[in-house]
Amino acid sequence: MNLQGKKILLGVCGSIAAYKAALVVRLLVKAHAEVKVIMTEAAKDFITPLTLSVLSKNPVSSQFANEDGTWNNHVELGFWADVMVIAPATAKALSRCATGHCDDLLTAVYLSARCPVFFAPAMDLDMYQHPSTRQNIANLLSFGNYLIHPGAGELASGLSGEGRLAEPESIVSQLNAFFSRQTVAAGKRVLITAGPTVEALDPVRFISNRSSGKMGYAIADAFAAAGAQVTVISGPTAVKASMENVNVVNVNSADEMLDAAQGHFDQSDLVIFAAAVADYKPAHRAVQKIKKSEEMMSLELTRTPDIAATLGKQKKQGQLIIGFALETENELEHARRKLTAKNFDYVILNSLNDPGAGFIHDTNKITVIDRNENVRHFSLKPKDEVALDILNIVLEKWSEA
């Protein structure tokens, strides 16, 4: 267990799932972590502070001032923790933290925390799926926080669906994995290409594709959170890195992306080619905007540089290279060819035949193939979770070394 000696701050909100907080505390203490608990006033309707105090072996805080006049310093609590976990996190708690509505001790500590913060939502399925809740979660993730996805099943309302608080074992396991990743990935240099490239036809028009850059940036955030030094060579995209320690180099064309990647390649321990690079570019770029004239227009195209193949030939001993393959037919066959032709260690296959996978979506479904022809299939899941799957594969490889 990587939780030994870690200082963990658990925030408990007013939800029927609050009873699971006792199990979370028990498992953390059993893993030899030091645990302090903050409860909202509403949480006391579902579980007593005494229960959590006995299990954590520390006083439970719920207000700025205790009955005996002592002060719960929210700044000190925020500085104390190695990680903060809010479980269960209600819709109200998500909203207050996302908007900075600081009206109790828990939100004050959250705003003061300098450590990573995990949110484990618990609510009814319609509340969880409501656009306001989804936006609040998106905002929290954009701040660099982490989401422990709720489970699906029977809910307190009698309905069945997504919204159940993740099981205590899963919450503790994800925290353990977080600290494990930090140990293995610390100091590793990771280079990622992300987003589309655009190839200018004239000063107004260009050739490109539908890539949003979401997958590449999710991977960047995952590795940065694990302690790696991450550089992203990014084509034009509205997506931003959530982690502040991600270095982003903005480019437009395939030629620019190759030049930028070349400058970082030799120093990189891991290279992930997640960008959707345009395969062709106009043979001649017009200086002025092309005017409409004839009914038909012919456009001469020429190949863009194959960034992955070019850098794959320069691979050094000890480097890992991962590429993506987006296919629409004979997916596994084409992915295996790319794995060999471009000297990848792993190829990550996306199929546009899988609903919810590929460009634009917030979800993805991947199949990972390694040089030994081992194939791992993963289910459809949010791209931040897909990024963690990719991270864990790399960490396994690094751990073996």
Confidence tier at 184 by pLDDT (50, 70, 90): confident
When the pLDDT of each residue in the chain is averaged and rounded to a whole number, the result is 91
Q: What is the pLDDT of residue 241?
A: 87
pLDDT at 214 over 70: yes
For residues 121 and 196, membership in a common domain is answered with no
CATH number of the domain residue 125 falls in: 3.40.50.1950
Mean pLDDT of 38-56: 96
For residues 119 and 95, membership in a common domain is answered with yes
292 is a domain residue: no
pLDDT at 51 over 80: yes
**Portion of the chain with pLDDT greater than 70, in percent:** 98
150 is a domain residue: yes
**Sign of torsion over alpha carbons 29, 162, 123, 158:** negative
For residues 37 and 113, membership in a common domain is answered with yes
Annotation says 209 is catalytic: yes
Mean pLDDT of 309-329: 93
Q: Is 279 annotated in some ligand binding site?
A: yes
Lowest-confidence segment of 8-22, 174-188, 198-212, 248-262 by average pLDDT: 174-188
Active-site residue among 209, 247, 343, 392?
209
Mean pLDDT of 283-312: 90
Angle at 401 between CA 372 and CA 381, to 5 degrees: 60
Confidence tier at 354 by pLDDT (50, 70, 90): confident
293 is a domain residue: no
Q: Is 338 annotated in some ligand binding site?
A: yes
Which helix (H) or strand (E) element contains residue 247?
strand 246-250
The neighbour count for residue 43, using CB atoms within 10 Å, is 26
pLDDT at 2 over 90: no
Mean pLDDT of 194-198: 96
Number of domains in the chain: 2
Q: What is the pLDDT of residue 71?
A: 66
For residues 370 and 273, membership in a common domain is answered with yes
For residues 45 and 138, membership in a common domain is answered with yes
DSSP 345: S
Confidence tier at 297 by pLDDT (50, 70, 90): confident
Q: Is 119 annotated in some ligand binding site?
A: no
Q: What is the pLDDT of residue 121?
A: 96
Confidence tier at 65 by pLDDT (50, 70, 90): low
pLDDT at 321 over 90: yes
* Euclidean distance between CA atoms 113 and 83, whole angstroms: 9
Query: Considering 181, 209, 240, which residue would you say is the last residue of a domain?
Result: 181
Q: What is the pLDDT of residue 1?
A: 60
87 burial level (CB within 10 Å; 0-12, 13-18, 19+): buried
CATH number of the domain residue 304 falls in: 3.40.50.10300
For residues 237 and 374, membership in a common domain is answered with yes
Confidence tier at 160 by pLDDT (50, 70, 90): confident
Q: What is the pLDDT of residue 111?
A: 94
pLDDT at 31 over 80: yes
For residues 267 and 136, membership in a common domain is answered with no
285 is a domain residue: no
For residues 155 and 131, membership in a common domain is answered with yes
Q: CA 7: distance to chain centroid? A: 23
For residues 60 and 137, membership in a common domain is answered with yes
pLDDT at 62 over 80: yes
Q: What is the pLDDT of residue 264?
A: 97
114-151, pLDDT tens digit by residue? 889 999 999 998 999 999 999 999 889 878 888 998 98
2 is a domain residue: no
Query: Considering 181, 216, 233, which residue would you say is the last residue of a domain?
Result: 181
The dihedral region occupied by 318, where left means phi > 0, alpha psi between -120 and 50, and beta the remainder, is left
For residues 133 and 171, membership in a common domain is answered with yes
Q: Which two tokens stand for residue 127?
A: 């509340």
pLDDT at 105 over 80: yes
44 is a domain residue: yes
Q: Is 273 annotated in some ligand binding site?
A: no
50 is a domain residue: yes
Query: Considering 181, 216, 236, which residue would you say is the last residue of a domain?
Result: 181
Domain range spanning residue 53?
7-181
Q: What is the pLDDT of residue 295?
A: 79
Q: What is the pLDDT of residue 69?
A: 61
Contacts with 45 (C-beta within 8 Å, 6 or more apart), sequence order = 14
Bigger pLDDT: 362 or 312?
Answer: 312
pLDDT at 368 over 90: yes
For residues 192 and 335, membership in a common domain is answered with yes
25 is a domain residue: yes
For residues 88 and 155, membership in a common domain is answered with yes
Give me the DSSP letters along 274-306. --B--SEEESS--SSPPPP-SS-----EEEPP-
244-287, pLDDT tens digit by residue? 789 999 999 999 999 999 999 999 999 999 999 999 999 999 89
